[in-house]
Amino acid sequence: MISREPTLERLATAQALLLTPFGLNESHLTRALAEITAHKVDDADLYFQYTRSEGWSLEEGIVKTGSFSIDQGVGVRAVAGEKTAFAYSDDISEASLMDAARTVRTISSAAQSRRVKTRARKVAGSRSLYNGLDPIATLDSTAKVELLGRVEKLARSRDPRIVQVMAGLASEYDVVMVARADGTLAADVRPLVRLSVTVIAEQKGRREVGSGGGGGRFGLAYFSDAQIAEYVDDAVKAALTNLEARPAPAGVMTVVLGPGWPGVLLHEAVGHGLEGDFNRKGSSAFSGRIGQRVAAKGVTVLDDGTITDRRGSLNVDDEGHATQCNVLIEDGILRGYIQDSMNARLSGVKPTGNGRRESYAHVPMPRMTNTYMPGGDRDPQEIVASIQKGLYATNFAGGQVDITSGKFVFSASEAFWVENGKIQYPVKGATIVGSGPEALKRVTMIGNDMRLDSGVGTCGKEGQSVPVGVGQPTLRIEGLTVGGTA
């Protein structure tokens, strides 16, 4: 059997789903782009998308929901200066495509921009970060429900204090095609799965919640018995730990963050501030600071959309550019921002493969992929043992950040009080308050245990949600404010 080069294979899949059934071919795309660029615009693109998704949830041994949906459409965009005109339709046809093209080109009427001429076709470069399978088809419906049943049975068997179990399984098959005015033609076939488990533990009238789960860009066979057991153990451990938790102390103190998912603090407090749109507009705490020290020595922050099978990875971004590993901070020095096409052009730099959109009905903007801090040289146990009095936070429920000031607030869902280098007891109700730029400068110890999250992250920005990854090693940070309940 002769297989096609991966990029051409994805292009053929996209054409079979998004063009051929509607009587379209590449000449129609060229014609639509020519219609837009007949006026003075700086950029233009067409974004076709076909998404099939399925979800199952189980609670108290009963299938509570089962859903299946198919969505498809096309988004048409023209950019002139800082202005964007955008139209989209779930009707993929030559008539709607040309109508959208004529609509968005009107943005040029008030713009003083150069005219872009459509160029000869060029196919995006070859790469294959994940298998382009349809994950929904990798298990039948009966097997999916049985999988959730195994999750519940296993969770209940772990401890008699587990009184309620909720499990969910989600699968998505996403096919996109991008045609740009510069001649670029790109396609991607993106599988995505996620298994989640939430448990409630009860003891002496007190109830606490714990959660676990993960996923990525692969089929449902990934969720082996061993993998399910790991997710269940995480959820049960969190719930039982919180049953013993005491009110969290408050004050300014040393905080040690555990590896993996606590990298969500890095994502929110630092990552968003390094997105190109905020920095071009001067609204980020990191604006205009390229080449300056913004973090302690040893602190490096990467955004890498090329990690195999990861939830935040993409073969190409939603503008047809190949994703890449971007060094944002290197040994404490700010090296760059993440960029989409428009902000890169206006900033005089190249796109970084971070143009992302929720769907064909949304415009792209600079967004993170997998954002993490590489490991250092310290043993994590040594880092915890170095705490005289402080907080050891191993999991977070969520948080928020003010991009302009860099200030953040995060809620720890699993944390421990440490004295004289020893964990004393779990605490509840701890919130960590600080400034992203300042917190980076106060990193004093970096563990050698860098870990990416299990594949659960979803990032929201301006009403759009996209899958992302986070990660970090164990970190010791000085002088963070902890808001507690004690």
At 272, list the tokens.
């968003």
320-370 confidence digits (pLDDT tens): 999 999 999 999 999 999 999 999 999 999 999 999 999 999 999 999 999
Please tell me the distance from the alpha carbon of residue 206 to that of residue 197, in angstroms, as a whole number: 20
For residues 215 and 221, give the distance between their C-alpha atoms in angstroms, rounded to a whole number: 11
Section 170-177 average pLDDT: 98
Reported as a pLDDT band with limits 50, 70 and 90, residue 386 is very high
Position 228 scores a pLDDT of 98
Q: What is the pLDDT of residue 109?
A: 62
Residue with tokens 């905020």: 278
**What pLDDT digit, counting tens, does each position of 78-97 carry?**
999 999 999 999 999 999 99
Distance from C-alpha of 215 to C-alpha of 449, rounded to nearest angstrom: 21
Q: Give the torsion sign (CA, 97, 361, 404, 257).
A: negative
Here the contacts of 107-112 (C-beta below 8 Å, separation 24 or greater) are 107/39, 107/41, 107/78, 107/79, 107/80, 107/83, 108/39, 108/40, 108/41, 108/78, 108/80, 109/39, 110/83, 111/40, 111/41, 111/80, 111/81, 111/83, 112/40, 112/81
**Residue 210: pLDDT above 60?**
yes
pTM to 2 decimal places: 0.94
The stretch 296-305 carries a mean pLDDT of 97
Widest CA span of the chain, in angstroms?
73
Higher pLDDT, 209 or 401: 209
Q: What is the pLDDT of residues 435-449, one digit of tens each?
A: 988 999 999 999 999
Q: What share of the chain is helix, strand, coil (3-state, %, to 5)?
A: 25, 40, 35
Percent of the chain with pLDDT over 90: 87
Which residue type does 374 have? P
pLDDT at 330: 98
Helix axes 225-243, 141-158, angle to 10 degrees: 40
Chain length of the chain: 486
Query: What strand order describes the sheet that includes 333-334?
Result: 333-334, 325-330, 301-304, 370-372, 469-472, 451-452
Nearest Cα to 211, choosing from 395, 62, 58? 395
Measuring CA to CA, which residue among 151, 120, 333 is closest to residue 236? 151
Q: Is the pLDDT reported for residue 116 higher than 70?
A: no
Average pLDDT over residues 67-78: 98
CA angle 70, 318, 92 (to 5 degrees): 45
In this predicted structure, the answer to whether residue 486 has a pLDDT above a threshold of 70 is: no
pLDDT band at 1; cut points 50, 70, 90: very low
**How confident is the model at residue 118, as a pLDDT?**
54
Residue 323 CA to residue 305 CA, distance in Å, equals 5
User: What is the pLDDT confidence band of residue 117, given thresholds at 50, 70 and 90?
Assistant: low
* Two tokens, residue 128: 């294959």
Non-local (6+) Cβ contacts of 303 within 8 A are 271, 274, 325, 326, 328, 338, 352, 354, 368, 369, 370, 371
**Model pLDDT for residues 41-56, shown as the tens digit of each residue:** 999 999 999 999 999 9
| CA 468 from centroid of its chain's CA atoms | 1
Q: What is the pLDDT of residue 110?
A: 46
